[in-house]
Chains A and B, each alone.
Chain A
Amino acid sequence: MNQAAFLSALQKIFPERRLLTAPAALAAYESDGLTAFRARPLVVVIPETQEEVIRAVKACHEFGAPFVARGSGTSLSGGALPVKEGVVLALNRLNRILKLDPQQRIAVVEPGVVNIEITKAAAPFGLLYAPDPSSQPVCTIGGNVAFNSGGAHCLKYGMTSNHVLGLKVVLPDGEVAELGGDSLESVDADYVGLFSGSEGLFGIALEITVRLLPKPETYRTLLAAYRSLEAAGDAVSSVIASGLLPGALEIMDNLSIQAAEAAVKPGYPLDAAALLIVELEGERAQVEAEWARLKAVIDASRPYLVKVARDDEERMKIWKGRKSAFSAVGRLSPDYIVQDGVVPRRRLGEALAEIEKLSAKWGIRVANVFHAGDGNLHPLIMFDGREPGALRRAEELAGEIIALCIRLGGSITGEHGVGMEKRQYMPRQFSATDMDAMWALRKAIDPLELANRGKVFPEGEAPSLHRVGAHPLEQAGVISRE
């Protein structure tokens, strides 16, 4: 690629202050929420209009420059990691809510809109945008769509893609396509569903039509403390078997409880081996009827302590503790890896016991917070990056947990995506035929492999020839990690 000519083409689109090439300016974009990986891009451009995004993508296509779209850079799987010598399109300024139609219960937003801003805008109409990843005060909807982000309420309401009705996207060669629409129903293959969660490999979403839901009339949230993780896991099974459909079912283990308490003081019992959070939500009369049933199920599960949120403030406190858990673990350990495996719910107990064994075997502390309702584990593997070999050992432990999830019939990722972090594990979950078919799809949409090159697939050129170990780009010295 002729870098000078390429940069000059970009300069025709972007003024100097929105085209960053100085090393100091690029440093902020070198990695995302998965800080173990870094790569310095050639250039960062900061579009303010959809047209500028389209023109930038066309320029990338013309010069064969790989590009990565980036919102707030909160990806925990390295999804927004730049390609060395490639382009980063920072989309935070495309943050307009283009339309909010309470009567049809939809909003049309640009990709740089922060998740929680949609709910804020919808709140005066008694509506909300349901998907609520822990990073919702900062993460952008464009990233949510690319990675099909989840959150604590997925069992009942699904993930991001379940709330996206329509997309305007720019494909990796600059062509623009409109997918889906603004109705809850459609009469075409679900291209919106396919684009969502494609991790930026199919192009960039420019406009996103999301559905809004009425804010539940009431919530009932309880905390139950147990002397063992197994007891909390059994309680989850009992809640599910009782025919209830809670909005959220979350478990935190003792390490996570300690961390959350130290960070935001949610009032969790510090001596609990496991904490279960159950939340019912909906129409008052229905929730009251469900509450009676839930109380009976929880009492029968023999917690040693039950706390019920008496008002919205207490409820928010419970959730603040849970949602702060990832960052709070930073108080217990200088570095950590967040895992995101999924197991069938009935095998949660088995999975946790195995993780405990692995933790003992490696001598590495692992905190567990997880979406118990949908079997989505979030082991937080703690290490000290200054210690030689510590990161590698933590990653090997993480790899064993991923293998465990696959063995138990689950998935390598529930909501963080494959990204850079788990790409080498894809061939363990999918057959060579599946991998080849996904690769063929990628190549049909993006023959030059420009859009988020290097993610999802074990290696760029030949997906069937996978291997486990250091990333091939790493071996080639193209990317590095600290």
Chain B
Amino acid sequence: MSADLIGELQATVASSARVRPRGATTKMRAPANNCATLDMRRLAGVVDYQPTEFVITAWAGTPVAEVQSLLAEHGQYLPFDPLLAERGATLGGTIAANACGPERYRYGGARDFIIGARFIDGNGNLIQGGGKVVKNAAGFDYPKLMVGSLGRLGALVELTFKVFPKPEAYATLRVDGASLDAALALLPKLTNCPYDLNAIDLVIGAASQVAILIRVGGLAAGLPQRMDRVRSLCGGGDIVTGDVEAQLWRDAREFAWVADGMPVVKVPLTPGRIPALDARVSSARRRYSVGGNVAWIATSALDELDATLRSLDLAGLVLLNAPGDPRIGRRVSNAFAERVARALDPQNKFG
């Protein structure tokens, strides 16, 4: 059945001038005019899962939540912390948008856990890259290329991930009321210390005061001791556990802190660039995630943010709640990218 469906999708790509893959549309990209839509949700379900291999393969249209609950039955998880799973995000959309959450801080992002991909290229061919073993150096790394490709290099059909054992227990240290300067002064102490921290987020509140959230996961036995050390490093703070703790991070992944319908922009950066950006977006709700490597900015003033990002030489991606091209800020043409697109999609069907 899946073979028939893939054949049908390949035929659509081959016979259309423009195509666009679509998942659960939890993120951006409203369908364009004169453009055939590939409904990837029809290709859903887990294809292969061997818990002792730390590997899972599923069709790209599979809801992330379905994969997560299957993994959880075996004490495993997707360490790159996919976003918007509760809203129905698919694996394919998660990879195409590179939608990783706060906990990608610990072990890495989608690029670090995708090990295989099958996709339909612009010629309508079904291409396999990578494989189903956790270590593999054969062939060009298409699976990584697809991370963040926004569906512009082909339609993802089947994805294989490396997975890890899920931390048995979590706790979060919450430090409230710091200034951004103080929080940023603390940040390198946290990122450079040999404590194994799962996530570090700075949540900017209404009056620009900062809540620092530090998540720690692992075996329950060592956790209290580890939390005490994090607290003394931070000079205080409240240790949160249980459902309240889980909710803190679910809110981050599902953007519960963002008003309904408000566009949300992802800006990759380094911690040192936060002050200059923050000064320019101080009226927006915002959050600095992944140890200061991602800014999430909720704003409807996208043109203004686009100009701000350009002036700061930063690139952004409108992840939520805005139609049209999601890419804003710095855009550098790149000869390598152009040649890759020419090979995979010579007639620019996906672009």
Binding site for B on A (CB under 8 A): 101-106, 125-127, 147-148, 150, 154-156, 158-159, 161-162, 169, 171, 175, 177-179, 181-198, 202-203, 214-217, 237, 240-241, 243-245, 282-283, 285-286, 288-290, 292-293, 340, 342-346, 371, 374-376, 409-418, 422, 426, 429-431, 433-434, 437-438, 440-441, 443-445
Contacts and interface: CB of A to CB of B under 8 A. Distances in A.
Contacts of A443: 343
Residue from B147, B191, B268 having most chain A Cβ neighbours under 10 A: B268
Contact of A190 (B147, B188, B334): B147
A90 B107 CA distance: 35
A438 B223 CA distance: 47
B270 A187 contact: no
Contacts of A437: 121, 125, 127, 343-344
Given A177-B334, A289-B218, A411-B136, A186 B268 contact: yes
Interface in B143-160: 143-150, 152-153
A343 B133 contact: yes
Interface string B94-112: 0000101000110111011
A191 B136 contact: no
Interface of B: 50-55, 75, 98, 100, 104-105, 107-109, 111-112, 121, 125-129, 131-150, 152-153, 164-165, 168, 188, 191-196, 218-219, 221-223, 225-226, 229, 266-272, 290-291, 293-294, 315-317, 327, 332, 334-337, 339-340, 342-344
B219 A290 contact: yes
Contacts of B147: 189-190, 193
Given A104-B270, A106-B270, A286-B222, A412 B194 contact: no
Contact of B192 (A127, A175, A244, A417): A127
A102 B111 contact: no
A190 B294 CA distance: 16
Contacts of A216: 194
Contacts, number: 272
A188 B229 CA distance: 37
Contact of A187 (B141, B152, B316): B316
Given A193-B145, A344-B53, A289 B293 contact: no
Contact of A444 (B132, B194, B340): B340
Given A103-B272, A161-B144, A285-B226, A185 B109 contact: yes
B290 A161 contact: no
Nearest to B194: A217
A440 B108 CA distance: 31
A194 B272 contact: no
Contact of B195 (A191, A283, A417): A283
A191 to B, nearest CB: 6
Contacts of A202: 336
Contact of A189 (B134, B145, B196): B145
Contacts of A444: 339-340, 342-343
Given A179-B334, A187-B327, A441-B344, A429 B139 contact: yes
Contacts of B293: 183-185
Given A169-B336, A191-B340, A413 B136 contact: yes
24 contacts: A106-B270, A158-B108, A178-B332, A184-B104, A184-B109, A184-B290, A184-B291, A184-B293, A188-B148, A188-B315, A189-B149, A189-B152, A194-B145, A198-B140, A286-B219, A289-B219, A430-B138, A430-B139, A434-B129, A434-B139, A437-B343, A441-B140, A445-B336, A445-B339
Contacts of A286: 196, 218-219, 222, 226
B218 A181 contact: no
B135 A414 contact: yes
Contacts of A148: 137, 141
A105 to B, nearest CB: 6
A424 to B, nearest CB: 13
Given A187-B148, A283-B196, A179 B135 contact: no
A480 B142 CA distance: 33
Contacts of B132: 344, 409
Nearest to B75: A243
A245 B52 CA distance: 12
Given A411-B138, A444-B339, A289 B221 contact: yes
Contact of A283 (B104, B153, B226): B226
A102 B270 contact: no
A243 B168 contact: yes
Nearest to A410: B133
B258 to A, nearest CB: 18
B128 A431 contact: yes
Contacts of A185: 98, 100, 104, 109, 266, 268, 290, 293-294
Given A162-B111, A169-B336, A193-B145, A102 B138 contact: no
Give 6 nearest A-B pairs by CB, closest first.
A193-B144, A285-B222, A444-B343, A217-B194, A187-B317, A183-B268
A147 B136 CA distance: 11
A375 B268 contact: no
A282 B222 CA distance: 12
A412 B138 CA distance: 7
B167 to A, nearest CB: 10
Contacts of A203: 336
B343 A441 contact: yes
Residue from B98, B293, B317 having most chain A Cβ neighbours under 10 A: B293
Nearest to A182: B270
Contacts of A196: 141, 144
Contacts of A101: 272
A411 B336 contact: no
A245 B109 CA distance: 18
Nearest to A215: B194
Contacts of A155: 54, 134-135
Contacts of B111: 162, 190, 193
B141 A194 contact: yes
Nearest to B152: A189
Contacts of A410: 131, 133
Given A183-B293, A185-B290, A430-B128, A411 B164 contact: no
Nearest to A290: B219
A161 B141 contact: yes
B134 A375 contact: yes
A340 B136 CA distance: 10
Nearest to A181: B268
Contact of A214 (B194, B266, B290): B194
A409 B133 contact: yes
A234 B82 CA distance: 33
B146 to A, nearest CB: 7
Contacts of B165: 243-245
A296 to B, nearest CB: 13
A126 B195 CA distance: 12
Nearest to B100: A185
B335 A177 contact: yes
A433 B135 contact: no
B216 to A, nearest CB: 9
Given A193-B141, A244-B165, A433 B125 contact: yes
A240 B125 contact: no
A433 B126 contact: yes
A444 B345 CA distance: 11
Given A190-B145, A193-B145, A243-B165, A344 B50 contact: yes
Given A183-B294, A240-B52, A444-B340, A434 B335 contact: no
Residue from A127, A184, A286 having most chain B Cβ neighbours under 10 A: A184
Contacts of A154: 134-135
